[in-house]
Structures are given as structure tokens and as C-alpha cells.
Chain A
Amino acid sequence: MLVSWVCSRSLNKSANCSLCYNFCFGLPLNMRRSQDSGKLAKPGKTVTRFASLLIGLCLLCGHPANASVKLPHCAIRNIVLTNGLRVVMLEDHTAPVAGVQVWYHVGSKNELPGKTGFAHLFEHLMFDGTTNLGAEQFSDYIVRSGGIDNAYTTEDTTVFWETVPSNNLPVALWLEADRMRNLQINEQVFKTEREVVKEERRLRFDNQPYGSVVETLYRSAFQVHPYQHQTIGSMEDLERARVADIQEFYDRYYVPSNATLVMVGDFDTQDAERLAKKYFGGLPSGGSQEDRKIPQEPPQTAPRILRLVQKVALPAVVEGYHMPADGTPDAYPVRLAAKILSEGDSSRIYHRLVYEKQIALDAQSAGNFTEDPNLFFVLAILNAGHAPAEGEKEMEAEIERLKNELVPAEELDKAKNQILRDFIISRETVKTRGEELGYDSVVLKDVELVNTELARFLVVTPEDIQRVALKYFVRENVTIVEVLPEANQQSKPGK
């Protein structure tokens, strides 16, 4: 395939950087492998793979400053049905397609100890049949229309989505309403699906170079908050999951009062609203969603440093600093700091480690922004012969510079321009726009942020960046994982 132009870095540099791959934040666990979505001509493999990683990063980090270019305004219709279902609609006739997403406000942070991985396992089960339809028939309907569908689970949410030719909007809505109400899972289907999820864990984590690094880091960085465990869950907990757990989870979380329906695309808003009421209006509410006690993480008081010796070719180092929740005032300067540190080849960490010192294959930073406070990452995959400590020292030098010197105005403008671009690119498909609307509505709790959030970035000053760097990027707040290749001397490329 002729490569997409959404990536900022040349692909063949690190097209197979699995640490980065696994590091794709939110690591939304997809129901299906993202199969090449129906492109009819598709030579080329390595290229698309890294592309999707970067798109993922853009999406999650993305939000937008440039004097003459304006972000087009989205005229959103945002209503709540009597059963508590929030419905967000955005009419747009750019292409003859419609995007439907159902956001359930439940993710892996709602899992109890010993039951990790359940939110994601449940996501899989949502494709396995209702009182009306057999297993996989949901997707069969979407496929027959020419559409695509999938789902993903994060720490905070579970999202089901379809993109269909716009005449099929009623079909997608009917299907989503059906599985919100009529899910029916038997023991056999449950066991099979559990095996599928275990294979997903093996594929993404256990059989991947660097696959356990992020998991190790989280287990140490969080001691109380459920962000401690990965959304995929542990093998032991998956094994322990029982079909009896399903009903309880379904009744509690998969109800209109805990869901947001997002529609974007080629429809008339009044028609869409009527369809939403027709298919979802009659579903029983599910009651109050108030009582959720998520234990909050106490402040970290000393650095935590871990070493992993693994069968990998190159050393790596990952640092995670506790940082504020998304949508809070400090989140915006932190997001901009990430751009300054590592977006584009001229960014500070990338330039220093990869270009100037040539000690790293890749170096990145990004916040894993979520509903509760999460981690800000700085990481590098080092070239052979360079120790993790060397990478840390260089990354640290850039972190210190953020604290000691005000970012020049021009460099801050650069970061703001990159944010604006991210906002614009996220509008290119009904799926990515739907994701922004859903995320703003469910996690940030204000769907109008899709129009107003850019302003929050634009007001950030160099002093703000310095202030958050001094506040969060401090030694006692960091967890570091150093990865050392098992056979260190073997893979040293000579000069």
C-alpha cells in the first residue's frame, strides 16, 4: 500500500519497535486484530503497522494553534433519553458513511483484585450472541453492508463501534440496542472466548519482545489504584473467570444509565434522534451509577527502580512519572511538554538521543491520560552497546532543562501547532471524530470540549510548562524499568 501521510517519522527507522508498539497507550484492546480493513490493493506490510501505532498515539495525545487556520466548529446535538442514555449526534455529509459508537463507562479500573481482565473479556462476549442473534451474527450484518465493526477496552471505558454506509445506520443502532438488552451467553461460548482472550494476551504481551515491560512498570508505580494492572488482565484471573460473573457485570454496567451513544456522519439529526429513541428508548434504565469506590493512589515518596533481563536485542529504559488526570488544568501544560520533548525529529529528547548522541533507536515521551491520575512516560530503546543508565542520563538532562529554563516562545508555538494539527486530523473520519466526542463526553464529562478544548492549550505559557515540570517530573515520583538483553555481548553491531 502506498503509505499514509499521517506519520511524522520515517517508517523504516523503527518500523518494528515492539516496545513502542506495546506502549501504544490506552493500549485499547481490540476485539479483533485490526485486519487490513478491506483495502483492495495492499502491497506492503511493515509500513502500515507502525502507522497504526502512531495514529493511536495521536488520537490519545491529540488535542490543538496557528494564527490563520481555524478548527471547524462542530454543531453537536447532545440529549439524554428518559432511561438515562446520553445521545450525542454530529451530522456531516462529507462521505456517505455513518459512525456509531456505544461507550460504556466501565473499564479495567472497575475490576476487583482477582478479577483482572474481566472488562475486556466481557467486551469480547458482546459479540457472542443475544436472544435474537447467534454468535458473530452481529458482525455478519455489518459486513454484509460493507461496514466494519470492532470494540476496545481501556482503563476507563469499553467502546463498541461500527462504520457503515449511511443507509445502514438503523441496522447498526438496532444491533447495538439488541446487545445492550438481550445478551445471551452459554458456558461453551464463554470458555471458547476466554481462550481467545488468552491468545490475545500471548500475542500482545507474552510472546513479544519488551512485552512485559509496561506491565512491570505499572505493577510497581501503582500500589493501590487499579491502574496497577493491565487491561488484558492476568492469565490466572482469566482462568478463574466464571460464566456466573457475567450477569452481574452486564446488569450493573451495560445499561442505558451507564452508556453514551455517539453518531457521526451522513444522516439528518432529527432522523437519527428518532431512531435512537425508537431502538434504545424502551430499554430499562439500570439505575444509579453513583456508588463506585476506586481507591486513590497515595503520593509516591521515593523512586522505584526495577531491572529486567530479557531475551531482547537492544537495551531499553522506561520512566513513568505520576501526573494529573486528563481534563484538569495541569494536564494541558503536561501534554504540551510531551510534544516539546518528543514530537517530531526536532523535538528535544528525540533529537538528543537519536540524532545528536546516536545512542538510541527511538526515544519518546507521552502521557497516558485517563480519568484518574496516571503516568507520564519517557522511554528509549537504546542502540547496542549503550546502557540504560546512559539513556536515563540523557533523558534526565532534558527533563532538568524543562525545569531550569523557560521554553522559548517559538518552541511552545511549535507544540501548539502540532496540537492544532492533531485536532484537525482527528476529524478526518467518523470513527476518530466519534472517539473524540465519546471521550470528551464520558471521560472528560463535557462534549463541548470538542470545540473548546483547543483554547485550553493556547493559553498555556512557558511558565506553566516549567511549573508542571517542577511539580511532577521529580525523582521521588518516578518508577524506572531498565531492560537488559540476556545475551548482551552477542548482538553488538560493530562499527
Chain B
Amino acid sequence: MGSKTRCVARLLWIGLSWGVAVLSAADLPPTVPPPKPFQSAMPVVRVLPNGLKLAVIERHELPIIGVRLVVQSGAEADPASLPGTAQMVASLLNQGTTKRSAQEIARTIDQIGGMVETGADWDNSFVAVSVLTDRTELAFEMVSDMVIHPSFAPAEIERQRKQALSALSVAHDDPAYIADAAFDRLTFDGTAYGHPPDGTEEAVRRLTSSNIREFYARNYRPDNSILALVGDIRADEAYQLAARFFAEWKQDDPPPTRQPSTIDSSRTGTAHHSKGRRIVVIDKPDSVQTEIRVGNRGIPRGSSDYLALTVANQILGGPATNRLYKALRTEHGLTYSASSELDCYQTNGSWEGKTSTRSIETMKSLRLVLDQMNRLRDHAISQGELQTAQSYLTGHMALEVESPDSIVTQTLNLMVYNLPLDYWNLFPRELRTLQTEEVLNATRRYMDPERNVIVLVGNASAFSRELKKLGEVRVIPIERLDLGSPDLERPVAVNP
């Protein structure tokens, strides 16, 4: 539908709703004054002599403080043959240091009502402790102990290996997990993001103590890390404590060769085009629903197209009501959830639509997703849609400064992705100047329905024949699925 037709339709719609209004003396929500002028909390950032960046955000409403150490390397830094290394390293940080055993760490934290968490994802690894304010010093001391002196004891490595293998085997029963992992595997093939961040069974079995120590030595360095402090603490006190507990963190070798920031095609504005559409079905005959993923490679977080694609994604399938949701759920009752995700990492990204539907409606749902993607690529969004997206994204900033956790996450995102700390204060103005053509142009650069990746996890017999009309289809029986392999399939001869 051309934009002209839509305008007419829109006028008609307004006319109709007025008609109703007159007949039933309908009421409408009140108009309200403009929102309060918004200022995001600007953290003060300092750098210790060893290169560790500190960011403090004061929040004095509640007697709690979070100490979060973020290493700016995560699963993307996994050795190519050992996916899961970053997560294994992170999972071991609270499992013993040269000072404390795993049990002592757990007991100490639990006793004071604190919480400890470690983990790794794309572009970051972290260890975080939160405590009530009477234990502030202990939180600094424990985080520094865990990040500077992990012991990587053999018995703890074996424990975590066993846990990781069990977690993987449970995950492989979850159709949504499989769909996400398979989509990423195909979309990011050949990049640093082309493997499952939680590893593969084969790699997790093979990881050695020296693999773990090497990853740690290469990436866990003060000049590759950020210490974020949020909560009921004064900035000067936070700096003093940070200096006291983290000054001893040193590295001997020269500054790390940061992961080569592969300037891939998406950064320069040309979409990554694979040969053509890739359709993969992971056949799980006992499924009652099909998990559907459709998309292309996207952009790194630093791309100049980020803003335009954020708006496009908001309209296609972003939070709250959107085109996919309306088409699949509101109009057709085909799904509980339909959305799109724009995932942007340091050197790459993806843009995908996702939904799940009962097996017999798989093709109808998939076609509706593709229709909405084509529509977004072929026709400009309306001015009204742009305004709604702008007002949502701007208004929503107030909600992002509500909890200490949310504020610190926002801040760390800016720092990890090298964005200016006043980003959110400049954001509304930049958003306001965005034009519908810019959104359309950016969409055309990255969304390519003819050359996308389509992953379906479900009962293939319910839809695979019709699916072939969309292109060549590869069906992989679930028991043959191998997320470690570029073509997702285990050779037939190998024992399970």
C-alpha cells in the first residue's frame, strides 16, 4: 500500500471513530502537560593509574550498593575452536580465590544478605556483588579478590564443566533456545559472534585449565575493565575504596591487542549479502508449536545507522504494540508473542523477527512475518508512526533511570561501546531530526528478505512441503543438530 493510500485510510479511520464518538458520547483520555525536562544521571568517570576505569552513580534512596566489575571482552573473544571459554572463566570467578574457597565466598556473601553474580556475554564478562550499605567495604574487597586472584582450582573446573554440560543438555530441549542459537550461528557465521556463547558440548568437554588461564590472562586486565559503583555511596568514598582495593591489579605484558575491530561491511553501510536465502528446519516431531526466526545481519553498536534502525525496529516489532504484534496476534490470533530484535554488538549485529505459533499455522505466520518485513523495506513508514516511535523512545528514557540497576546498565553500555556519556541527553534532539526517508534508507541497507536466514524449530511434517515454495530447505533432525558446526549438522557416522 502506497503512503498516499494509507493517508486516505487514516483519514477514513479518524472519521469513523469520530462517528462513534458522536453516537455514544465517547470520551477520550485527558491531555496532559509535557513531561518534565529530562536529565540522565551523568556518572563521573575516573581512571586509576593501572588503567582501570571507575564510574560512580550515587543513589541514596535505599541502603544498598552494587559493585560491578566489567571486563570488556566476552564470548566474542572465545578461541575459535573453544566456544564457551569466556563463560567458563566467568563462572569460576566466585568458585575460589587464592584467599578464599568457593564455600567461603558463598558463605560470606550469603551471611550478610548479599548477592554475587558472575557471567559473560557478547563483548563483556563481569563479576558483581551487591550488599547492604553496612558491608560496602567487604563488597569492594570481595570483587577485587575474585577478579584479581581467582584460583581456577582443578576440582572447581570439573564442577563447573559438569554444570555447563547439564545446562547445555537442558537448553537443547528448549525450542526457543535452539531457534535463537541456530539463527545466530547462521547469521554470524565467519564473525566473532558465530558460535554459541555458552559453548558446545564438545568444546566444554575439551576446555583445559591452561585454556582458562590463557583467556583470563589475556582479557582480565585493568586497562580492559570498568568498575561501576552504584547506590548509597558518595563518589569520593567510592574512589578511595576502589583505589585501595584495585591498585594492586597489574598486568605485566604490554597493553592488550584489543580484538581487531573488524570493519565489516555493515559498518560501511553495505549490507552483508550471503548467496541467497538460507532456510533451515530443525525437526522436532513432538512439537506442538513452531519457533520462527527470520532476519539478516545488522549493524555494530557504533554504526551511524543505529538511530534509524532503532526506530525501524520499534515500528516493526519493538517493545509494546508494533506491526508484527498487530498482524500476527491482534488480527489473526496466531501467536502469543511476535516481536523483532535489533542486536548490536562491538563489531557486528543482527536484525530478526521472531514468533511462535501452533504447528499447522507455521506457514501462515511465517508469511505474515515476511510480509511485514517486505512492507517495511518497500514503503516508508508514516509520519504518525515515526512520531509514535519518537515519543515512545523519548518518553521511555524516564523509565530507564528508575532503578540503580537500570542506570548502571545504561552507563556501562555507553562505556563498553565507546559512546559519549551524555549520549542520552543528546538522544531526544537527534531522534527529533530523524526523517522517514532515513528510516527507509537504513532499512533497505540491512533488511533483505530475499537473502535472509529463516530458522524454524518444530514438527517439520506439518509445514515442510509448503515451505519449499520459499526456497531450498534443509531439514535437520533434532538429534543431529550440532550448534558448533557451520552447517549445524553432525556427520551421520558419529555416535551421539
* Bound CA span A427–B231, Å: 13
Contact between B121 and A43 (Cβ–Cβ < 8 Å)?
Answer: yes
Contact between B111 and A410 (Cβ–Cβ < 8 Å)?
Answer: yes
* Bound CA span A1–B121, Å: 8
Which of B410-467 touch A at CB < 8 Å? 410, 412-413, 416-417
Check A146 for interface membership: any CB of B closer than 8 A. Answer: yes
Number of A-B contacts (CB under 8 A): 363
Which of A162-201 touch B at CB < 8 Å? 163-171, 174-175, 178, 191-200
Q: List 7 A-B residue pairs with CB atoms under 8 Å apart, sorted by A's residue number.
A: A35-B337, A43-B122, A96-B38, A167-B36, A192-B331, A312-B173, A355-B103
What residues make up the interface of A, taking CB atoms closer than 8 Å to B?
Answer: 1-18, 32-33, 35-47, 66-70, 72, 94-97, 131-132, 134-136, 139-148, 163-171, 174-175, 178, 191-200, 202-203, 206-209, 311-314, 343-347, 351, 354-355, 358, 361, 381, 383-384, 410, 413-414, 416-421, 424-425, 427-430, 490-491, 493
* Bound CA span A277–B170, Å: 52
* Bound CA span A424–B135, Å: 15
In the complex, besides A14-B166, A16-B171, A430-B402, 20 extra interface pairs with C-beta distance below 8 angstroms are A1-B413, A2-B413, A5-B115, A10-B116, A15-B167, A16-B174, A17-B167, A40-B310, A41-B410, A42-B343, A47-B119, A72-B61, A141-B29, A146-B394, A175-B29, A192-B332, A209-B173, A351-B103, A358-B159, A417-B113
Residues of B within 8 A of A413 (CB): 111
Known: A41-B413, A43-B345, A199-B358. A15 touches B198 (CB 8 A): yes
Contact between A148 and B399 (Cβ–Cβ < 8 Å)?
Answer: yes
Contact between A2 and B126 (Cβ–Cβ < 8 Å)?
Answer: yes
Contact between A143 and B320 (Cβ–Cβ < 8 Å)?
Answer: yes
Indicate with 1 or 0, residue by residue over B98-129, a CB within 8 angstroms of chain A CB atoms: 00001101110111111111111111101011
| Leading 3 A-B pairs by shortest Cβ distance | A146-B395, A417-B113, A195-B333
Residues of A within 8 A of B319 (CB): 35-38, 148
Contact between B399 and A38 (Cβ–Cβ < 8 Å)?
Answer: yes
By beta carbon, the residue of chain B nearest A67 is B134
Residues of A within 8 A of B33 (CB): 167
* Bound CA span A420–B112, Å: 10
Shortest CB distance B136–A (Å): 11
Return the contact of B118 from the options A10, A33, A41, A144 (Cβ within 8 A). Answer: A10
Shortest CB distance B92–A (Å): 9
* Bound CA span A195–B496, Å: 38
* Bound CA span A32–B404, Å: 25
* Bound CA span A440–B91, Å: 38
Contact between B166 and A148 (Cβ–Cβ < 8 Å)?
Answer: no
Shortest CB distance A470–B (Å): 25
Contact between B174 and A208 (Cβ–Cβ < 8 Å)?
Answer: yes
Residues of B within 8 A of A142 (CB): 320
Contact between A18 and B164 (Cβ–Cβ < 8 Å)?
Answer: no
Contact between A132 and B28 (Cβ–Cβ < 8 Å)?
Answer: yes
Contact between A314 and B416 (Cβ–Cβ < 8 Å)?
Answer: no
Return the contact of B339 from the options A1, A35, A136 (Cβ within 8 A). Answer: A35
Residues of B within 8 A of A141 (CB): 29
Residues of A within 8 A of B405 (CB): 4-6, 428
Known: A3-B119, A491-B169. A165 touches B398 (CB 8 A): yes
Contact between B287 and A207 (Cβ–Cβ < 8 Å)?
Answer: yes
* Bound CA span A410–B171, Å: 37
Contact between A44 and B167 (Cβ–Cβ < 8 Å)?
Answer: no
Contact between B63 and A2 (Cβ–Cβ < 8 Å)?
Answer: no
Known: A38-B319, A96-B398, A430-B402. A146 touches B391 (CB 8 A): yes
Shortest CB distance A431–B (Å): 9
What residues make up the interface of B, taking CB atoms closer than 8 Å to A?
Answer: 17, 24, 26-30, 32-36, 38, 61-64, 66, 68, 70, 87, 90-91, 94, 102-103, 105-107, 109-124, 126, 128-130, 132-134, 159-160, 162-167, 169-175, 177, 180, 197-198, 201, 286-289, 301, 310, 318-321, 326, 329-337, 339, 341, 343-345, 356-358, 388, 391-405, 408-410, 412-413, 416-417, 496
Shortest CB distance A212–B (Å): 12
Shortest CB distance B177–A (Å): 5
Known: A39-B400, A192-B333. A421 touches B114 (CB 8 A): yes
By beta carbon, the residue of chain A nearest B112 is A417
Contact between A167 and B62 (Cβ–Cβ < 8 Å)?
Answer: no
Contact between B132 and A424 (Cβ–Cβ < 8 Å)?
Answer: yes
* Bound CA span A39–B122, Å: 16
Shortest CB distance B24–A (Å): 5
* Bound CA span A467–B153, Å: 41
Residues of A within 8 A of B287 (CB): 207
Known: A143-B321, A414-B110. A97 touches B399 (CB 8 A): yes
Residues of B within 8 A of A146 (CB): 35, 391-399
Contact between A41 and B173 (Cβ–Cβ < 8 Å)?
Answer: no
Contact between B401 and A95 (Cβ–Cβ < 8 Å)?
Answer: yes
Contact between A314 and B63 (Cβ–Cβ < 8 Å)?
Answer: no
Contact between B103 and A346 (Cβ–Cβ < 8 Å)?
Answer: yes
Shortest CB distance A205–B (Å): 10
By beta carbon, the residue of chain B nearest A172 is B29
By beta carbon, the residue of chain B nearest A417 is B113
Residue with the greatest number of chain B CB neighbours at <10 A, chosen from A171, A347, A491:
A491
Known: A14-B163, A208-B174, A410-B111. A2 touches B396 (CB 8 A): no
* Bound CA span A424–B403, Å: 12
* Bound CA span A168–B31, Å: 9
Contact between A206 and B289 (Cβ–Cβ < 8 Å)?
Answer: yes
* Bound CA span A255–B134, Å: 46
Known: A40-B393, A146-B393, A428-B404. A47 touches B111 (CB 8 A): no
Return the contact of A143 from the options B91, B114, B392 (Cβ within 8 A). Answer: B392
* Bound CA span A424–B130, Å: 12
Contact between A97 and B402 (Cβ–Cβ < 8 Å)?
Answer: yes
